[in-house]
Every structure is written in C-alpha cells, then in structure tokens.
Structure 1
Amino acid sequence: MERANYPKVWYLDNLFQGEGKSSQFSDHINRLEDLVHNLEKCVISLTTLLDTNEGIKVLQVVEIIGNIRLNLSQANSFITCLLAQNPKDQEAAILRGKVAQIDSRFENELSKVKKILSNTKEDIWGKLLENKALQNYKFILNEWRENADGNLSEEELNLISDLMVDGYHTWGDFYNELVSSLSVNIKINGKQENLSVGQAINLRSHPKEQVRKEAHYALESIWKEKEELFAKIINHIAGFRLKVNNKRGIQSVIEDPLKKNRMKEETLHTMWSVISKYKQPFSDYLERKAETLGDSHMKAYNFWAPITKSKQKIKYDEAVTFITEHFIQFGSELEGFVSHAFNNGWIEAEDRPNKSPIPFCAGFPITGESRIFVTFTGTFLNVLTLVHELGHAFHNHAMKSVSGLNKRYPLSIAETASTFAEMIIFDASMEKASTKEEKIFILDEKLKRSVMNFMNIHSRFLFEQRFYEERMDGVVSAERLNQLMEESINDAYDGSLEQPSIYSWVWTPHYYITQSPFYNFPYTFGYLFALGIYAKAKEKGKEFEEDYLNLLRDSGSMTVEDLVMKHLDEDITSEEFWEKGMELCVQDVKEFIKLTES
C-alpha cells in the first residue's frame, strides 16, 4: 500500500464544532448537568431496596450512571486534546474546571448508590439480580456492593471526601509543585546549564557517559538536600491512607489496589514468583550491556545509554505504511482500524513548538472514535510511541458495542493492546533490520522495557510494601526510607545494578499519587499479560483475532482471572501462563548476547 501525505494534524471539528469556543460543547456540558440532576433525584427515590420489584429502579439508576460516564469521558477527552495542542488554552482550562465540578457531584451520588446496594438484604439482592434487565450489569453491581464503604455513615464519607480535597490530595499536589520548582545545575559540553528535574532526568539517555553521570549525582544531591521534606510528604500521604483504611475495615494496604485491578492476591504472588525465578537472564543482559559500554557491571546512570545509534530516519508516511502492512498479519480488523485512523484525522503527529510533550490516546465513546497525540520526529522510538497509542485506540474500538457501564477496564488490562501492538512492530523491525547494529539497537529497546517491568517496578513494589509495614508503627525517617529503597533495588535487580539511586522513593511520582497506592504492579501485569497473549497470537495467526477482540470487549466486566480463563482457557494463578510470555523475553536476551559477543 503506497500513499503519500497522510494527515499529520488531527481533526476535532466532527467531535465538537468550533473546538474550545464550541456551542455544541456548551450544550454537552448542560446535558451532563441534567443527567447528574436526574441521578440525584433517582437516588433519593431509591433510598433503600426493600423488595424484589424495585429492579426497575436499579436499572434506571444504572443506565443513567452509564450514560453519565460516557458523556464525562467524551468531555474530558475533548478538553485533554485542546490542552495538548495548546497548553495555554485558557478557555479549555476553564472548561476542565466546570467538568470537574460535575464529576465531583456524580462521584458523590455514585457512593450513595453503592452504599444502598451494600445495605440491601442478601435474599432480596439475590432475587433482584435474577431480573433479566439487570443481567448485563451483574458483575458491576456485585462489585459495587462488595466494595462499598459499608462501615462508614454518609456523614463520615462526606467528611473523608472533604479532608481528601483539603488535606490528603493537597500533599500530592504539593509534591508535584515542589519537584517542578527545583532546578539542577549540570555541566554539558563544558557549559553550566540550569535545568528542570525533568530535563535532568532526560539526560540519562545522553550519548556521553560523563553527562549521564553528572546528571545522576546532581539529582542525588538535590534529593539529599530536600529528603526531610519529601519524607514528611510521603509519611503524611501514607498515614492518611492507613487511617482511612482502618475506618473502612481494610486490613491490608494491598487489598484496595487488588480490588481496583480485579485481581486475586494469589495471581499477583504467582506473577512475581515467576519473575523472581527468571531474574538471571536479565542480569546477564545488564552485564553484557555494561561490557559493550566499557564497564564490568551496569551502573544505574548507564542503563538508558544508547548502545548503538539508529542512523535510520523514518518518514511519517513510511512509518504509516510499515505499521499497516504488518498489522494485517494479525487480522483484517486491526489493519482496517489503523488505516481508518491514519486516513481520517485521528492522529496529531506534527513536529511543532508549543505542543504538550506527553503522548496519549483519548477515547470518545459516544462517537466511537479515538484521538492520538504524538510528536513524530522520524525516530524508531517515535514509531513505537505511535504504535503504543494505536493499541490503546484499538482497545477503544473493540469496545464500541459495549454498554457504558461495562466499558471501564482496570489499569491491569489497560496496557494489553498497546504492548501487543508494540510487539508486532518490534518483531517486524527485527526482520527488516539489515545490519547487526540495527538489530542490537532494537533488542536493547525491547530489553530495557523488560528490565523496567521485571526489575525496576518490582523494586517499587517491594519498597512500597516494606514502607507501609513500617509506617503502621509510626513515621519512617528519611534515613530509613533510603535504606528500604536500597534493599528493595538490590533484591529486585538481584544485585546486578551498581550505584542505584537510593532516592528513587523521592523522584518516583507514583508513590505520591493519592488516588491509589501500589501504582506499580499493574504495569508489570499488563506487560507480561500482553506478551502471553502475543505468544498465543503467533501460534494461531489471523484466526486468533476474534478471540482477541472478545477478550478486549469483556475486559470491563470480568475479573482478570475469569477473563483469561474464558477467552484463552488459561489459569493465571498458575506459573505456566506467565512463563509463556517470559520465555519470549528470555529469547530476546539470548539473541542480544549472541549479537554482542564480539
């Protein structure tokens, strides 16, 4: 398929004409407010479920909630697009505030609904769920009922909500503001430069080792200077979370994130067990990469170093053709979808100033579309980023026919389609690579992802687990936080990383996200889960696509264990499933070591 001049700028007018000044979008916000008002009235009439004839009331509430979620998603995605293409768009920022207020009212009503369901008598609840009209929502309704804050009164829920806004979430905001305010002084090519933390962190992939090393230690110095302040922030966040959990009757800090990810603890332990068993190959990779860089062991500041240079500059149209040609090997639906996205202005890829630096995929469930935001400069990494976001968009596409309430899938599944898409292009690129250097470059990119998921994220999980255990007994000092971090990194990397940052607990923002603790293991789960699916797809070829689509469609209405059993006939509480994906990564290590022998 030869074609020139695929559009590089997305088209938003068919979503809401006039973009930020759109009267259509104003009408959409008004419609959202009306929907929330209707929900408030329905919740008042619901109050409590006394008999089995009230199924119609439950259905009415459920359908309104599903409709609100669709409209909120449509609104938030549109505002995200406006602010990405122009971060200084004040009108879009005002719109975001309006939608956030509506969202807050909605979440308050949703909490009330969950409480009503949790207070319903068991016999009435069982008969209610026999109602045919509610069958499609059975999983979500049971989940709401089980996860409701039944131990707390409405007054307590409101109080906690207020405290979260003015106290708890403020600590998270303060962390972000503090990190943004810091500057790092580093010498680059003989010239002193004053950089932001983000710019300094980006130097970890600089081609010169001296620059990487200076950036690493300059950052460590900044963190050491502020460690007491960061220790206070992380202790306050954890302390608040533990007190709320205690009020809610939650014994373990891992309980809530497991519920949100619809995962058994047994599954999580099995996954980490397999990863721990296969650490040696990735230690071998780190050692070999260190050798190619002229060292005997991998130093932390050299992990992101480019091992070879990819001299190939890729034109956008060439990238589109390459992606489409290789996606068709895994199914006509996937190939047709990406062709439609490239041809119909779904992708913002232009390299221009004043754009947001952060790539994303925004779903528009009401119109059944997505928009992808990247900045394409012609590198292989740009191609991977584009493909990653196309994978997210394909997940949205697969769920077009799914009802609003069943569209929301957990973070553990969120990276499945994106990682799957990356694997297609990694393999295709390896086949196309004409030189050994190109193959080494591609394998290094793949293996960096494996190490991040199997070692780095494991260290984050171990640190958070150990930190919360000690925080239950009182405030944890900055000195002890450093020790816990160092121990966790050594355990997770199996001793194969030298001079690690003991201040990883400071500069890893995931520890300070107040919406959820343990914002780490879902990434590893999603990565290894996608690899397992990809291994299956390679076995079955195009005939696997329908199974894949069905799996994605069900991802919002099942536990991860039931999802995999239904569509792949696999038990993810057993090590065998995880080993299939792991074997693909180990094979990459073997190939890398073979290619770098000389």
Structure 2
Amino acid sequence: MKEYKLTWDLDSIFSGGSHSKELEEYVKDLNERIENLQERVSRFSYPKSPEQTKDLKEVINHSQDVVKRLGEFGAFASCLSAQNVGDKQAQKWVTRRSEMTARYKNIQTEIDQKLLKTEENIWKTLLNEPNISEVAFVLDERREKAKEKLSLEQESMINNLAVDGYHGWGQMYDAIVGRMSVHYNGEEMSVGQASNKLNDGDREVRKEMFEKWQEAWGSQTDLFTETLNHLAGFRLQTYKHRGWESPLKEPLDYNRMSEKTLQAMWTAINKYKSDYLEFFKEKAKWIGVEKLSFFDIHAPIAKSEEMMDYQTGAQFIIDHFRSFSPKLADFTKLAFEKSWIEAEDRPGKRPGGFCTSFPHSKETRIFMTYSGTLSNVATLAHELGHAYHQHVMNDMAIFNQGYAMNVAETASTFAETIVSDAAVKSTSNDKERFVLLEDKVQRSVSFFMNIHARFLFETRFYEERKEGAVSTERLNELMIEAQDEAYRGALEEYDPTFWASKLHFHITGVPFYNFPYTFGYLFSLGLYAIAVKEGTAFEDSYISLLQDTGRMTVEELADKHLGADLTQTEFWEEALKLCIKDVEEFMELSEKLRSEEGL
C-alpha cells in the first residue's frame, strides 16, 4: 500500500508559501483584471434594446473570470493562515483578499444595479442568449436581490467599511485564537490539539482537559465578547438600513431556502428528540456516571477506542467509497496521491477542519488534524465529500459553482455516512460493532442537538444585540440556556464558553453557520437510502444532483431529484426514522452486552 503524506502540497498552486513570487505576480495580474472589469462596467449603461446587450454579456463573462481567479487567491490565503496561525505574512494575504473581495463586490453591486434597470422584455431576451442562458438562474437571482438592497453608493460604502470593520473583527478573532494555547500535563498545546483530548477514551483526561479548555477560553472571553458584538452589530446595522427585519433573511437567502423549510426541519427533529434521551441514559451507564456532561457526548463508549492510522484510514475510505461510486473513490485516491490533504497533528495549526477549492487550477485542499480516532476518519471522509462536490462542478460556469452551505453539507455528509455505515457493518464482533454504532449515533446527536443549540443561541443573541451590546456573562447564560433546551436537560454540565471557542460564530462570510449542517445531514440521508438500493447505478444521478446545487433553490432541487416537498415535515421525518433505527439497534445491543458482562 502506498504511503500518503500527512502534509499538503501547496507549491503545485504557488511555490514558495506566503513569500511566493508566483503568488505576488498572480495577485498583481488579478488586480489589473479587477481594474479592467471596473472600467468596462463604468463605460456601459444598462441595455435599452436587445441589440445593446453585447457590452453586458462581455461584462458577465469577464466577471466570471475575476471570480475564478479571486477564488484561487482566496483559497491559497486560507490555506496559508490555517497551516500556521503565526505566519504574519499569511495574515497580510488574508487582509489583501478581503480588500480585493470588497472591490469586486462593489463592481458586482454596480452590475446588479444595471441588471435591475434593464426592462423585463430585454432581460428575458438576454437570458436566452448563448453563454448567458447557462447562468440565467444566478443572474435572475442577483437581479431580484438587487431590488432589496440600497443604492450603489451606499452598498459600495458598506463593502468598503466591511474590510476594516466587519471582516477586521473576524480577523481579530483568528489572531487571538492563533496566540492561544492550552497547558496540559506540562505540555503547551494548540487549541486544535487540545480539542482532540476532549474526546479521549479516559473520562479523567476529558474532565481535566475540559477544565483547562474552559480556563483557556474563559481568559479571553472579554476579547471575544468584543469581536462577536461588533460582528453582529455590523450585520444588524446593515440589515436595518436595507429594511430587513429578521437576521435570518441573509442566511436563508444565501442557502436558497425558505423559512418554512427551516421550521419544518426543526419541528420534525423536536418530535424525535426523546429517543435520544434514552441513548444518553444508556451511554451514562457504560461510562459509569449518573448523567452525562457536555464533554462525554462525543467520547468513545469504551476506553479502548479503536484507532486507525492515517494510511489505514485513507484506504478504508477509498474502499468503501468504491462500493457506491467508483468515480468518488478514484477522485479520493487522487487527492491522497497528490497530497491535497493537510492532516498532520502538530502545534501552530488552526483548530477544526475545512475543504477549500481552487477554481482556476481545478484542485481542492483539505485541512484537519488527524490523530487516529474513528471521528477523525469520519471527518476526513466528510471533507473529501466536499472536495468531490467541487470536482464534479469544475467544468461548469463559475457562477453555477456558487452552491450554498446547506447543499455543500449534503455532499460531505453523504460521504461521511458511507464510511460510518461501512464501519458498523464491516465487523462481526458485537463489542466492536457497539462502539462503532455509538460513534454513528452520537454524530447524529451533533446535528440534532449541538447544532440546534447553536441556532437557538444565535437567534436569541441577535434579538438581544438589537438592544445593545451583550455582556460576557449574558453570552455564557444564553449558551447554557440554548444547550439545556436543545439537549432537553439531559446533561449534568454544559459548555458556557462554547460561543467563544466555536469558530463558526465568528466567520464573517456566512451568518448562522449552523442549521445548514443539519439540513445537509438529513437531506443526505434521503440520498443515501436511494444509494443503498441502487448501488453504483446511483452514481450518475448523484452527480446530476450535485451539478444542480448552484442553480436551483433547495426546494426545487428536492422536487426535481427526489420528488420531495421540503416545506412539509414528512420528508424530514422519514430521514429521521433512519437515525432512530440506529438508536434502537444501539439500545438492543447495549442490553445484550450488559447482560453478557453481568452489568
């Protein structure tokens, strides 16, 4: 078996890291392209007849070129800053990316204003033009959104102020986290390394690390209170001036999803939460406590957790992907062979994991910290699902590659489910199957309870933020209240500083970076059920669905490919029943094993 590197290769994109001369030249060229696009946009007015659409078509084509190259630069800056949070030059590139993105957004706003002024009959003609018709959905969507925004001058001012205001606060959060460390057993760990200890098989280790974790994040919460309040304040002021009442409007629009669909999903989940309370009680018995605490939820059921080194984990993923999709397996093998994955467990890395795309190079990169747990294997499969999603869209128009987070999480979770399900089914040993099944169930707990807690916290935080800045003490209270409600009071101890340690609350690109995960999980289960029945015959249908994710609403996507109505609870309940089967199997196996072991 070929040995795969645990560190990624960025030199194939731009050699030289954060001091790359190639990167400097690329960014210089990109800057010129943005300036040329600005000149083109400034020169033409909105078309007043079908014959006058030529300039607009050229602008749209040049816009797509800039978007592709800006995505390339942005992805590289993200990789540089993640692999070494102490790389100051990388942070400068991140700032430069924000500045250039703001400039492009100003140009896009100007284009959208001209799209808005175009008369309806001319607009319809334009959308049927060659090379334009393929991105008609995106252009029509942008034109509609332009109706709800401020004037060109005002929107441009917002974009410009966001660089050092809105995005600046997000970068401040990253800078603070980059300097943080957690002291444990005489060792200084990065927060990424420490987070892995929170899932250790030894409860005493978890408990001690949780205390150290609270101490580390608690010492910085006053600073994080500032960053979070200012991020939210910027958003709310922007919404206020646009006349948007609900803070959910932007994330729902971004995810091409209706509020009715969102509410149907949460309603269905709340209906089935009681089944998980029995799971918590059973897990508590195995751990040897009366009631689980927050740091027990994702812990292994037994101290002797099965470990899987990186090479074995990689081959496990490839083999089981192949049973559903040979194309997915081949792509995954390529990603390992070409070193597109940064998995090394070392200090100085950013916590968490992500997948980012290089649309110009048609490559992807995956970032995580791999320490050999089954959870790490699942995370790796998850990020590879993201990568494959982008891979099947690489030859499409760049505007159509702008799929939202909720459908992005569908592809990743589908891949993760393949691996977790395979892990459960691949063993005949009851104890090993029990451990694997528990790992699978507790990940559904994440989507139904942990993510729900984040959603509840953020919803309530924004309502209070409308009245003024929210204190550190109140943020801690809101977090505990949200967790207690989401987990139905099932836990002994919660995580009051979760709002500070969870990066997602501080990301400026997407507000409410939570409910799309749950959407993707349940939507992917519907796809997985079909895949189980059809096997590799499902492959082409799956690719077709993924390729539509950037040019349809989620309701349209579900109707076309699944014949499902997402605004009703029935679809969500059917997906949830698949999860409950896992809980029931866990409970039955637990009773059998406890009987055999005399517990």
Normalised by the size of structure 2, how large is the TM-score? 0.88
Worse-matched range after superposition: 255-264 or 196-205? 196-205
| 2:355 partner SS | strand
Tell me by how many angstroms 1:278 deviates: 0.8
Worse-matched range after superposition: 31-40 or 337-346? 337-346
**Aligned pair partner of 2:127 in 126, 129, 154:** 129
Worse-matched range after superposition: 261-270 or 387-396? 387-396
Corresponding position of 2:112: 114
**Aligned pair partner of 1:574 in 562, 568, 574:** 568
Worse-matched range after superposition: 112-121 or 400-409? 112-121
Distance 1:394 1:218 in 2: 37
Number of residue pairs matched? 592
State whether structure 2 residue 398 is matched by structure 1 residue 398: no
Corresponding position of 2:52: 54
| 2:530 partner SS | helix
Corresponding position of 1:561: 555
For 1:254-273, what aligned pairs fall within 5 Å after superposition?
Answer: 254-273=248-267
Corresponding position of 1:140: 138
Distance 1:99 1:480, change over 3 A: closer
Corresponding position of 2:38: 40
Tell me by how many angstroms 1:14 deviates: 4.7
Distance 1:82 1:501 in 2: 30
Distance 1:217 1:310, change over 3 A: closer
| 2:246 partner SS | coil
Tell me by how many angstroms 1:233 deviates: 4.7
Corresponding position of 1:155: 153
Corresponding position of 1:527: 521
Residues 349 and 376 in structure 1, CA contact (< 8 A), matched pair in contact too: yes
Worse-matched range after superposition: 511-520 or 287-296? 511-520
Tell me by how many angstroms 1:132 deviates: 4.4
Distance 1:225 1:443, change over 3 A: same
| 1:415 partner SS | helix
Corresponding position of 2:75: 77
| 2:419 partner SS | helix
Residues 115 and 150 in structure 1, CA contact (< 8 A), matched pair in contact too: no
Distance 1:230 1:4 in 2: 44
Counterpart of 1:525, as a letter, is F
Distance 1:354 1:217 in 2: 21
**Aligned pair partner of 2:242 in 232, 237, 248:** 248
**Aligned pair partner of 2:510 in 505, 516, 521:** 516
State whether structure 2 residue 358 is matched by structure 1 residue 384: no
Tell me by how many angstroms 1:245 deviates: 0.7
Distance 1:367 1:255, change over 3 A: same
**Aligned pair partner of 1:289 in 283, 286, 302:** 283
Tell me by how many angstroms 1:441 deviates: 2.3
Corresponding position of 2:597: none
Residues 48 and 116 in structure 1, CA contact (< 8 A), matched pair in contact too: yes
Tell me by how many angstroms 1:559 deviates: 0.9
Distance 1:476 1:90 in 2: 31
| 2:198 partner SS | helix
Distance 2:91 2:448 in 1: 38
State whether structure 2 residue 485 is matched by structure 1 residue 487: no
Residues 357 and 390 in structure 2, CA contact (< 8 A), matched pair in contact too: yes
Tell me by how many angstroms 1:577 deviates: 1.9
Gaps of 5+ in 2: 595-599
For 1:438-449, what aligned pairs fall within 5 Å after superposition?
Answer: 438-449=432-443
Distance 2:418 2:51 in 1: 51
Report Cα offsets for 1:211-246 as digits up to 9, x if no partner: 433444555567777766655554443333222211
Distance 1:392 1:361 in 2: 6
Corresponding position of 1:537: 531
Distance 1:109 1:495 in 2: 50
**Aligned pair partner of 2:444 in 450, 455, 473:** 450
Distance 1:143 1:102 in 2: 23
Tell me by how many angstroms 1:139 deviates: 0.9
Distance 1:296 1:284 in 2: 13
Counterpart of 1:533, as a letter, is L
Distance 1:453 1:316, change over 3 A: closer
Distance 1:529 1:94 in 2: 38
Worse-matched range after superposition: 348-357 or 404-413? 348-357
Q: Identity across aligned pairs (percent)? A: 42
**Aligned pair partner of 1:419 in 413, 416, 441:** 413
Distance 1:296 1:329 in 2: 41
Tell me by how many angstroms 1:399 deviates: 0.6
**Aligned pair partner of 1:325 in 306, 319, 325:** 319
Residues 192 and 349 in structure 2, CA contact (< 8 A), matched pair in contact too: no
| 1:371 partner SS | strand
For 1:163-174, what aligned pairs fall within 5 Å after superposition?
Answer: 163-174=161-172
| 2:495 partner SS | coil
Gaps of 5+ in 1: none
Tell me by how many angstroms 1:71 deviates: 1.5
Residues 189 and 347 in structure 2, CA contact (< 8 A), matched pair in contact too: no
